[in-house]
Structure 1
Amino acid sequence: MTGPTTALPTSHDMIKRFVELAGPARTPAADMADLADMIRTLMAVQAGRDTRVRLGGHLFDVVITGSGVQARCAVALMDEIQGGCGPVIEDPEGGWFYWLVPPGSAARWTSHPHAVCLGAPHTITLPSLNRTVPPGPYWFRPSASDRLVPTGPLRETLAQIRPEPTPHAALAARLGVDT
């Protein structure tokens, strides 16, 4: 005795079903908009324009410290540790250093007496790549495509060197963030 037979779909039917499941051909993947924004941003910076970028995501977070003599000593120490410090932006008007650190660092950063780490949803304006002197924010240590500043050695260096002034109160007042 045999049961009812079920017809197997043809290869044409299977391909048609796969195409239907794939969705419209012109709908970009959800992460492609972020990639396009990132490429436009990096092209603008490379073209010599200051560009505002969102922290976090796939680019970087930022550690903020004072930019005084102690901070310059911290950069020199990070030069030794890293074989050339990763990217650091100085804002001479504000008196801050912005250390570009790996994305996701802000989520893991614990309170530090001399530094604050910010990620999404905050933004930063990157100076054009050819701006290496004031006026305005400039690359104290230019951005190299192959590195960011590692947070572990940076935390230890900042704890040892203790750059002043600390950014906590200024950031809390300006951004309304608990630092």
Structure 2
Amino acid sequence: MSAPVTEPLEFDHTYELMDHLVRESAASVGRPASDMADLASLVRALLDINRGQNTGAPLGGGLFDAVITAACPASRALVDLMDGIQSGCGPVIEDPENGWLYWLVPPRSAGRWTGHSHAVCLGAPHTITLQALDQTAAPGPYWLRPQASDRLVPVGPLRQALARFQPEPAPPSDLATCLRVPR
């Protein structure tokens, strides 16, 4: 039994391909699968930052969560340590205006995160603004360690390093309510 032969699909833009895939996945059940919607959101966000645009991305779901620490000399030493652990640290955004580092960690980390005196972990329903990939220096928020497709910052080693380096000032426990994410 052979599969029917179909003509290859052609699209002018990658986002058109993603929209097509979302519509096709919904055809059998009448609505997009939740994991396909997460994937489509991620791909759209990555396309935006590849085109040099800042873009909002939801935390939680299937994308990533964010650990927030102070941006200070101890944090820079922590980034250097994570470079060694990961052969290049996973994605970190520095927000010099607010004095924070945003470490992108695996999704659903916030649900497993227990209190820490030097960091806060946020997931859904919060959002974060991802900077354009070419934004690698101030002014404004920038990629201290650019986003790579193959990694996020691992929570276990990050948490252990936070206890060792103790970046200050510690984020307030109510950071989620007063946070101004980078724009």
Over the matched positions of the two proteins, sequence identity in percent amounts to 60
In structure 2, what is the equivalent of residue 107 of structure 1?
111
Q: SS at 2:81's partner residue?
A: helix
Alignment partners' CA distance in 2, 1:87 and 1:28: 32
Q: How does 1:96-175 map to 2 (within 5 A)?
A: 96-169=100-173, 171=175, 174-175=178-179
Q: Quick check: 145-154 or 28-37, which moved more?
A: 28-37
Residues 81 and 33 from structure 1, CA distance in 2 versus in 1: closer, same or farther, beyond 3 angstroms? closer
Q: How many residues align?
A: 153
In structure 2, what is the equivalent of residue 63 of structure 1?
67
Alignment partners' CA distance in 2, 1:60 and 1:101: 6
- Picking from 30, 33, 43, the partner of 2:33 is 30
Residues 44 and 80 from structure 1, CA distance in 2 versus in 1: closer, same or farther, beyond 3 angstroms? same
Alignment partners' CA distance in 1, 2:112 and 2:92: 20
Q: Does 1:92 align with 2:111?
A: no
In structure 2, what is the equivalent of residue 20 of structure 1?
none
Offset from partner CA, 1:88-140 (integer Å, 9 cap, x none)? 00000000000000001000001000000000000000000110001111000
Structure 2 spans left out of the alignment, 5+ residues: 1-25
Residues 143 and 158 from structure 1, CA distance in 2 versus in 1: closer, same or farther, beyond 3 angstroms? same
The offset of 1:77, in angstroms, is 1.0
Alignment partners' CA distance in 2, 1:53 and 1:47: 15
In structure 2, what is the equivalent of residue 46 of structure 1?
50
Alignment partners' CA distance in 2, 1:37 and 1:77: 31
Structure 1 spans left out of the alignment, 5+ residues: 1-22
Q: Quick check: 107-116 or 35-44, which moved more?
A: 35-44
Which residue type is aligned with residue 45 of structure 1?
I
Q: SS at 2:40's partner residue?
A: helix
The offset of 1:57, in angstroms, is 1.1
Provide the TM-score with structure 2 as the length reference.
0.78
Q: Quick check: 29-38 or 93-102, which moved more?
A: 29-38
CA RMSD after TM alignment: 1.8
Provide the TM-score with structure 1 as the length reference.
0.80
Residues 34 and 81 from structure 1, CA distance in 2 versus in 1: closer, same or farther, beyond 3 angstroms? closer
In structure 2, what is the equivalent of residue 10 of structure 1?
none
Alignment partners' CA distance in 1, 2:155 and 2:97: 25
**Higher radius of gyration, 1 or 2:** 1
Q: SS at 1:168's partner residue?
A: coil
